[in-house]
């Protein structure tokens, strides 16, 4: 069996047999990899706590017919603090669920890996507003997957401006001329908030945490946008405390 | 594919957790060779658990009566509750002989990625108990994995608002193991949870 090495993020795990787990991993070189970690559920397993979801690990894997097998795992970042806080863990669950949806097997995924790591690090650094970090992550993920939301100019004709009609199907905001008749404009604050979430640096998102009413409206739009483009709602999203 | 009853048995066994199609076939062919008496005993015990076993009205553990053996035992300390995910965790903790309080069985753990939230667990019955019973401490003994930690964090936050003392079981090095082989996550937790000697 061929042995290979990849640095990956554990997206999620499934119990297998008495003591094993199947891991769904996101790797830069091979995209989504499914691998078995033998004995990992036994206390005192040599993998210990290294292969829990959200862990960033350096792995040696044996290539298998259906599933690869983890030969060795070294920890790069554990993100323990994210796992030990319910709100952070719920946000991280949405992050990995969304990444799992857009990732493909056998497809280079360096940018996606970096985005997930950025998202997890931002959660760990800003535990006071995990929902904001999550929304910023989801907008970036949409862009990476080819559904960049237009938030600075009309998605129909390109005329610049913070237009206030948002159309999920059109892929962003629409000017008066392009908006279908009767469409309800958003609060200007929501459009500004969405643009800030999509465009600002991870550490400059605090401003976006401001008004709960605008936050909820923006979150709901981000979720609808992702659901539309991913084809199915994100299951973990419902459980994020808001 | 096999004929009639054999195929039915293979399919039924294949629906059990941890049993793949290959194991299901192996089990089915084993059952074909056993004595009728053995097969009847197995079938009868499956029916018996379905008929006789229910959930304890107090702690939600499996029980043959309205209240389980632990809840009925007057020697158990009613002021300390240990919260676990599954009935088999109660069995594991009972084997230690360390815990003299009562239990509360959640029936699972919070797992956002699987869509399993607080409302899917026996959390409302737990809150009802805390309102009715004179509980001083709740020990959170959910698994030290991502679901168990999320559950412990959720419950910790919720229960502290009720003015009850909440603790989390320690996690750390396996007894009898070598420190140098421990992974960093486990070792880190062991260090964070160190105690005075
Ligand atoms: Zn336009
Ligand atoms: Zn009971």
Ordered per-residue pLDDT tens for chain B, 197 residues: 777 889 999 999 999 987 888 889 999 999 999 999 999 999 999 998 888 889 999 999 999 999 999 999 999 999 999 999 999 999 999 999 999 999 999 999 999 999 999 999 999 999 999 999 999 999 999 999 999 999 999 999 999 999 899 999 998 888 888 888 888 889 998 998 888 98
Clarify whether residues B104 and B166 are in a common domain: yes
* Residue pairs spanning A and B at CB distance below 8 A: 81
ipTM score here? 0.90
A215, A153 Cβ separation under 8 angstroms: no
Q: State the number of CA atoms in the 13 A half-sphere of A45 facing the CB.
A: 21
Q: What is the pLDDT of residues B170-183, one digit of tens each?
A: 988 888 888 888 88
B9: containing domain: 4-52
C-alpha distance from A56 to closest chain B C-alpha (Å): 12
Clarify whether residues B84 and B174 are in a common domain: yes
CA dist list (Å): B10 to B6, B24, B191: 6, 5, 49
Clarify whether residues B30 and B84 are in a common domain: no
Clarify whether residues B82 and B160 are in a common domain: yes
Structure tokens at A188: 């200007």
Structure tokens at A178: 């392009």
CA of A5 to the centre of ligand 2 (A): 49
Clarify whether residues B99 and B166 are in a common domain: yes
Query: CB contact, 8 Å: B23 with chain A?
Result: no
Q: What is the pLDDT of residues A105-154, one digit of tens each?
A: 999 999 999 999 999 999 999 999 999 999 999 999 999 999 999 999 99
User: CA-to-CA distance for A56 and B111, rounded, in angstroms?
Assistant: 20
Q: Kindly state whether residue B70 falls inside one of the protein's structural domains.
A: no
Clarify whether residues B15 and B83 are in a common domain: no
CATH label of the domain that carries residue B12: 1.10.8.420
Task: Say what the pLDDT of residue A227 is.
Answer: 95
Contacts of A2 (CB under 8 A, 6+ apart): A62, A63
Chain B hits for A15, Cβ within 8 Å: 17-18
Clarify whether residues B89 and B130 are in a common domain: yes
Q: Which of B150, B181, B186 is opposite residue A89, by nearest beta carbon?
A: B150
Q: Kindly state whether residue B122 falls inside one of the protein's structural domains.
A: yes
Clarify whether residues B110 and B39 are in a common domain: no
CA dist list (Å): B77 to B24, B93, B121, B129: 44, 15, 24, 14
- Interface mutation target, options A59, A90, A97, chain B, most CBs of B under 10 Å: A90
Neighbours of ion ligand 1 (CB under 5 A): A 154, 156-157, 175, 178
Clarify whether residues B36 and B100 are in a common domain: no
Clarify whether residues B21 and B93 are in a common domain: no
C-alpha distance from B113 to closest chain A C-alpha (Å): 5
| Domain count along chain B | 2
pTM of the model: 0.89
Contacts of B79 (CB under 8 A, 6+ apart): B101, B134, B135, B136, B137
Domains and CATH numbers, chain A: 3-78 (2.40.50.140), 81-239 (1.20.1440.120)
CATH label of the domain that carries residue B83: 3.40.1360.10
DSSP H/E element including A166: strand A165-167
Q: Is B60 left (phi over 0), alpha (psi -120 to 50) or beta?
A: left
């Amino acid at each position: 069996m061929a042995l290979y090495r990849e640095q990956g993020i554990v997206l999620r795990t499934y119990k297998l047999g008495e003591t094993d787990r199947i891991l769904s991993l996101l790797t830069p070189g091979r995209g989504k990899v499914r691998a078995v970690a033998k004995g990992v559920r036994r206390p005192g397993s040599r993998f210990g706590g290294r292969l829990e979801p959200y862990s960033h690990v350096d792995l040696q894997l044996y290539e298998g017919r259906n599933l690869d097998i983890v030969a060795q795992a070294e920890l790069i970042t554990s993100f323990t603090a994210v796992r030990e806080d319910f709100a952070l863990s719920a946000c991280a669950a949405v992050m990995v669920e969304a990444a799992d949806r857009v990732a493909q097997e056998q497809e280079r995924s360096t940018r996606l890996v970096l985005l997930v790591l950025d998202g997890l690090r931002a959660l760990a650094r800003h535990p006071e507003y995990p929902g904001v970090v999550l929304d910023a992550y989801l907008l970036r993920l949409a862009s990476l997957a080819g559904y960049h939301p237009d938030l600075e100019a009309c998605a129909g004709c390109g005329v610049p401006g913070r237009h206030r009609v948002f159309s999920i199907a059109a892929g962003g905001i629409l000017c008066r001329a392009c908006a279908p008749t009767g469409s309800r404009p958003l609060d200007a604050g929501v459009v500004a908030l969405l643009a800030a979430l999509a465009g600002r640096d991870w550490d400059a998102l605090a401003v976006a945490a401001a008004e709960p009413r605008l936050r909820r409206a923006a979150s709901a739009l981000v979720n609808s946008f992702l659901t539309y483009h991913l084809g199915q709602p994100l299951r973990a999203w419902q459980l994020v405390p808001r | 594919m096999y004929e009639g009853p054999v195929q039915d048995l293979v399919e039924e066994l294949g629906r059990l957790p941890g049993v793949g199609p290959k194991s299901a076939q192996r089990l089915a062919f084993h059952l074909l060779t056993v004595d009728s008496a053995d097969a009847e005993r197995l079938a009868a015990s499956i029916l018996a658990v379905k008929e006789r076993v229910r959930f304890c009205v107090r702690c939600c553990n499996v029980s043959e009566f309205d209240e389980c053996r632990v809840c009925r035992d007057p020697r158990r300390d009613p002021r300390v509750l240990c919260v676990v995910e599954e009935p088999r965790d109660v069995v594991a903790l009972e084997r230690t002989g360390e815990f003299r309080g009562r239990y509360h069985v959640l029936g699972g753990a919070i797992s956002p990625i699987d869509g399993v939230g607080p409302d899917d667990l026996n959390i409302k019955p737990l809150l009802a108990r805390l309102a009715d019973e004179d509980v001083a401490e709740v020990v959170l003994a959910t698994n030290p994995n991502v679901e168990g930690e999320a559950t412990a964090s959720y419950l910790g936050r919720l229960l502290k608002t009720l003015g009850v003392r909440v603790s989390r079981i320690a996690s750390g090095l396996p007894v009898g193991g070598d420190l140098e082989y421990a992974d960093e996550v486990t070792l880190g937790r062991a260090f964070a949870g160190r105690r005075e000697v």
